[in-house]
Amino acid sequence: KNDLFVLGIETSCDETAASIVKNGTEIISNVVASQIESHKRFGGVVPELASRHHVEQMTIVIEEALKQANVSFKDIDAIAVTEGPGLVGALLVGVNAAKALAFSHKIPIVPVHHIAGHIYANRLITELTFPLISLVVSGGHTELVYMEKHGSFKVIGETLDDAAGEAYDKVARTLQLPYPGGPHIDRLAQEGNPNIDLPRAWLEEGSYDFSFSGLKSAVINTLHNAEQRGETVSPEDLAASFQASVVEVLTEKTVRAAKEYNVRQVLLAGGVAANKGLRHSLTAAFEKEPEIELVIPPLFLCTDNAAMIAAAGSILFEMGKRGTMEMNAHPGLDI
C-alpha cells in the first residue's frame, strides 16, 4: 500500500476535531465539534469548560472521522496531534488521546504546531510553491511566517500585543455584539463608511510586527468621548473604520514582505482569513503582483480543524518527525 493515511487531532482551543487526510493533500473526513455555544454566555473561551468538553467529545469525534472515511486503525499510518500552542488543559486532551491510540494500535505519533497546521490547510487546496509567506491571523495569533521549504518556518513578524482576532472580539464586545465578534464586525463594516479617524500601527520602519491594542483603545475612546458629549457613533461606521485600519496594515505588511523575500506564493491562514475586507484587500493588492500567487482557503479550512493538523503532520511524518510516549502539551510553543 503506497498511500499515506494520517489521522489528525486538534484540541488547542474550543473545537474538538479529528480528520483523515490521504497523502497530505486529500481530505477523506473532517469532523469538528464546536463549543462556541457553551462559551458564548461568558463572552469568551473558558479554559476549564473547554477541557471538559474536549474530554466528552474527543472519542466521539475520532470515531466519527474514521467512520466517515470508512477506515479503521489498521489503515492509519500516523496520528498527528496539536502539541501547542494553546490552552494547556485543552491540548492535553488531544495529546493523551493520541498517545493512548498510538500505544494500543502501535501507530507512530507526529506532534504538530498549531500554526504549522493553519499554514498547511493551504496544501489541502493547492500545491505549495516555495519560497512562500503565510499571513496567519486568528484569535490567538497574528504572524508573518516565511517558508523556504517544507517543514521550515521562520517568523518574520508577529503581534506585540493583541492578536487580530482578539482585537476584533474585544471591539465587538464594546459594541455589545455576541462572541466571537469578528464576523459581526465584518458584517457591520460592509454597511458602514470608514470615516472615523483611527490610528494605523506601522511600528518601526521596515518592521513586520503588528500591534492592535492602541487601535482597540482608540475605538473604545471614540465611543466614550461621544457618550460624554451626548452624541452617538454609528456602529457601522466605527466597525468599518476599525476594519479599514486592521486590513490596511495587514495587507501593506504582507505585500512588502512578499516582495522583499521574493516569494512565489502568499498563503492566508487562520480564523480572521474569513474576513471579507481582508480577502478583498489582499486580492486587490496581489492582482498588481502577477508573479506572486495569492492562496485563500475556503472558510472551513481557515477556522480550527484537524484536517490542517493531518496535512502538516503528513509532511512532518515523511520528514521523520516522531513523538514519544513522554510527549506533553506545550501551551507557549514556538514554531
Is 117 a residue that touches ligand KG4 (CB under 6 A)?
A: no
Nearer Cβ to Zn ion, position 241 or 303? 303
Task: Print the binding letters for residues 11-30 with ligand KG4: x by CB under 6 A, - otherwise.
Answer: --x-----------------
Burial call 51-74: b when 16+ CB within 10 Å, e when fewer: bbbbbebbeebbeebbeebebeee
Is 168 a residue that touches ligand KG4 (CB under 6 A)?
A: yes
Min CB(184)–ligand KG4 separation in Å: 8
Min CB(126)–Zn ion separation in Å: 20
Nearer Cβ to ligand KG4, position 77 or 248? 248
Q: How far apart are CA 278 and CA 248, in angstroms?
A: 8
**Contact partner, 84, from Zn ion, ligand KG4, none, Cβ < 5-8 Å per class:** none
Contact 6, 320 (CB under 8 A): no
Selected range binding ligand KG4 among 23-31, 96-104, 133-141, 317-325, rule: CB under 6 A: 133-141
Which regions of the chain does DSSP assign to beta strands (E)?
5-10, 15-22, 26-34, 78-84, 109-113, 132-137, 142-147, 154-158, 265-269, 293-295
**Contact partner, 194, from ligand KG4, Zn ion, none, Cβ < 5-8 Å per class:** none
Q: How far apart are CA 291 and CA 32, in angstroms?
A: 36
Beta bridge partners of 27: 21
Nearer Cβ to Zn ion, position 137 or 188? 137
Is 143 a residue that touches ligand KG4 (CB under 6 A)?
A: no
- Per-residue cell: 246: 486592521
What DSSP letter does each residue of 295-333 carry, written as one string?
A: E---HHHHSS-SHHHHHHHHHHHHTT----TT----TT-
Q: What residue ranges bind Zn ion (CB under 5 A)? A: 138, 304
Contacts with ligand KG4 by CB under 6 A lie at 13, 138-140, 165, 168-169, 180-183, 186, 270-272, 274-275, 303-304
Write out the binding residues: 114, 118, 136-140, 169, 182, 186, 275, 304
